[in-house]
Structure 1
Amino acid sequence: MNSTRHEEFREYMADRGPALLRAATRLTRDRGEAEDLLQAALAKTYLAWDRITDRAAIDGYVRRAMVNTQISWWRRRKLEIYPTDELPDRPVDDHTRRSELHDALGRALRRLPERQRLTVMLRYYEDMSEAEIARVLGVSIGTVKSTVSRAMSKLRDDFSWGDEPPPPPAAR
């Protein structure tokens, strides 16, 4: 029983680890902290593995564990941070520019047809393979490849205009 649990968990980590690490990175905005956060959440998940009866809900369990752990770490760190007259050696990150790009990408994704948006989200946000996406959507791998290709082409068109707004869709 214990070795089966261990193998199931190892397979889950190998399969979903990269996507979960991206989610952790979005929470922490730091790769090192994201790795620590994911490791802590996976440790909690491993301890609860036998209690999770719905295997489709494991990602949600891990993400909730990451959010709860991040909140705990944030509260603890908040007590440890004191104002100082010294400036950090690292340059300050431009959160405004990153936020603008994130918003622009969100708008561009929403403009895609539903199937294209879904394939891009599954491929790049959930880190699913083309075969997995084909199985989930009930289409061929070739359909997945061409759909992702068309979606990425549209997204590139949306972002190729630099500082100028893109022309209306009819003018393209």
Structure 2
Amino acid sequence: MEDDFQAFMESRWPALLRTAYLLTGNRDDAEDLAQAALARAFSKWSRVRRADDPAAYVWRIMINANVDRLRRLKFRESPTSSLPERPAADRSDELVTRGALLDALGRLPTRQRAVIVLRYVEDRTETEVADLLGIGVGTVRSHAARALARLRADGALRDFLPDPSGTGEMR
């Protein structure tokens, strides 16, 4: 049993950590969230391994753990010994874009963020996202539409969107 779980964990860790990071916006919180999900999965491993899609089962555990984590937070600020990083002029455009996108994702409500991450980053189908989140496909579509509208309207992302003139160039 432990060998099965070890192999599963090693194969899924990078994807779980990436998703957790996109859900939390913080590397330390992401590692804690992914580890908590795997700890819960290990305690239920016989049930998880029998599931049609064990990875989806663990993703669902992680999403639920993230919702629980957010409910427990009294405030979103956390003390730190260093100031947050700011994009510097010498950073690549990709790093700046990534930072703006992560900030914009962080401003989305929890469910909308989960739908966007699962649907467009993890490349899950609407049906898979609905199953993972325990909501209907129509709700996934409406959350995705609202989230995408918010992301498009987000002033921080305006410079990274294609020019509306149709030339395909960035603004």
TM-score (norm 1): 0.47
Bigger Cα Rg? 1
More helix per residue: 1
TM-score (norm 2): 0.47
